[in-house]
Amino acid sequence: MDSVSEQWPGSPRPARATRRMITSPEDGQPVEVTCRWPEDGAVKGFVVFCHGLGASGRDQEELTRFWASHGYLVVLPTFADWVGAVAAAEPGLGYAADDRELLRWTTVPVLRSRLYEILHTPAYWLARAGIVRAVMARIEDIAASTCGASVGTLPGAIAGHSFGAYTSQLFSGVEIDIPEDGTRDFTDERFRAALLLSAPGRHQQGLRDGSWDRMRGPVLTVTGTHDVGSRGQDWRWKTEPFELAPPGDKCLTVFADADHYLGGMTDNDPTPHRPEQQRAVATLTLAFLDAHLGRDPGARGWLESISDRIGACPVTIRRK
């Protein structure tokens, strides 16, 4: 590794956080967003982070605070499939929106069943896309009221975990089929890069052969050999967003022994956190952001130096 790469990523800075409500210009509905950014206001870019099924924009704190401490404005909207919102909208489930039991929804049969129905319901796919568009319609105001920057001068990325990685794909050139509504494409050129953590492959949520034909890079796809899909698909299915996309600034990283949560995504993960994997995923994703949004030669050199290990974690990495 050269001296420039060795100096990357530098020291973290204090980060700030706030929550605010925005109004969707499409349907007038309120959307809660959590924002994190470096306290000194010096930002290199912005990232819209899409949470997974049942989670909320208040989650993924460790990972997104890490990005913020290294110079990014991170905006995390809460989608309609947040388990608290589902419980509030469907009192027949028998849970209040603030019931602590909701944090364990993956282990509660009635909640797990309902959330998985939602995952495969087209209206929720489209609702997520609508909320991302609402965030982007308000991104200039969000930036001005947090870090004080003008988004017109900032590069952006979209990122997400699981259902959030699905959402992120949609804004990167991936097509989906909506039953009785045809093919949809939500590409937004304001996103310079996409970061997909445990993204789904074909034959689910409108994805099919040909969905990735127009996916544009840079895209980083990350999974683990213990990752699984909602219908029992193994980790190889999670590599399809890389395998089926055309060449051009695409990277796949597979962590040996990592499960769906890649070392730890939220405080409520149903599997134990693995700090060494958390650190490796944080460093890898920051390097990707710095290389493609920050144009940092040290970050690019660090990425290019990866062979079979990130820190203490064995990985398989492929590029095209």
* The pLDDT of residue 2: 55
Compute the mean pLDDT over every residue in the chain, rounded to the nearest whole number: 95
* The pLDDT of residue 6: 65
* The pLDDT of residue 3: 52
* CATH classification code of 3-319: 3.40.50.1820
Q: What is the mean pLDDT of each run of 10 residues along the chain (320 residues)?
A: 69 96 86 97 97 96 98 98 97 95 95 98 97 96 95 94 99 96 95 98 98 97 97 97 98 98 92 96 98 96 95 97
Long-range contacts of 14-21 (CB under 8 A, 24+ apart): 14/38, 14/39, 14/40, 14/69, 15/39, 15/65, 15/68, 15/69, 16/68, 16/146, 17/65, 17/68, 18/146, 19/57, 19/58, 20/142, 20/145
* pTM (2 d.p.): 0.96
Distance CA 120, CA 12 (A): 39
Domain boundaries, given as residue ranges, for the chain: 3-319
pLDDT tens per residue, range 174-205: 999 999 899 999 999 999 999 999 999 999 99
- Quote the crossing angle between the two packed helices 163-170 and 122-137, to the nearest 10°: 60
* The pLDDT of residue 26: 77
Percentage with pLDDT > 70 across the chain: 98
* The pLDDT of residue 10: 87
pLDDT tens per residue, range 246-259: 999 999 999 999 99
Query: Which SS3 state, helix, strand or coil, does residue 1 take?
Result: coil
